[in-house]
Structure 1
Amino acid sequence: MDAMRLCALWLPGLTLLRPGSGTGPGDPAVPACSNLSFKSCEECLKNVSCLWCNARNTCMDYPVRSILPSSSLCPLYDARWGVCWSSIPDEEEERLARDREERRMQSLQRKHERKMKQDEIRKKYGLLQDSDHPYSRFENE
């Protein structure tokens, strides 16, 4: 199985075009990937044979011989091909962090309420050291 087919299997939604199909790097109407560096991810990925690297702000030819780009070319976390990720995940992460903090605060509130109830029970049965309680616990000596 050649690299283009294998890549298409591993990267669903990404259509790789064969050379001479009219929309690849050999087409004079489509600029070379390296000419799109320092522009934007969206501009770079209009050409389906390009790879955008967020870390280096560069556009380069997708390495079709390997399934995933090597880390020397671009760290995998910063590599984009097929689509550019929008800022929506950042908003979602903020919402999840707020929800997590709210659940943590509710948990602390419930923990405090449980401690108060336990202290009331301990006080009722003389297990809590309290100065205003008329009875004291006897110790066997």
Structure 2
Amino acid sequence: MGRVRTWTASAFVGAVVLCVSFVSLGECTTTSPPTPCSAHKDCSTCAPDVRCLWCFTTNNCTDYPVSWLLPPHSVCKLSEARWGACWLNFQDLLITLGFLAGAIFIGIIVCCCCCCCYYSKKRSTRPADGDENIFDRKREEFRRRADEWNEERLARHEHIRKKYGLMNDPDHPYSKFENE
């Protein structure tokens, strides 16, 4: 028990020393404040800035309304709003994402249904505890039939041998010649 506490304490001290060393290696840098969205004059500089939204109707760059997932109609129409890329409007983005989400959802449902059907069929073919005797009886019946068929086949072959005189009789004229 004492070893575990010692190891835990030494690991904690090591982690603190490691964190302090990384913090002391960092340099203090000052960053300039980000440019406001209204300073952007075209879509190619406004749309890549994730804080900004370009509207082709008014040809201006505004702050993206983060309180809304989609920009309200008063800010810009969805078909005219650009965010992230100038070639993709919100309306096309919503249609594409809705189609993909629906396809994924339907795919998951189909996979779940197929798995449920597969496992329910597999479970239904498995014998219950009392049904093992039924399967044993069927197996014995198949084995008995196979033995009967083998006996019938051997009897037919024996009959054909007798008919054509091909018995395993050493005195028979068609038996193999032995070297003497």
Normalising to structure 2: TM-score of the pair? 0.30
Which structure is higher in RCO with an 8 Å CA cutoff and minimum separation 6? 1
Instruction: Specify the structure having the higher radius of gyration (Cα).
Output: 2
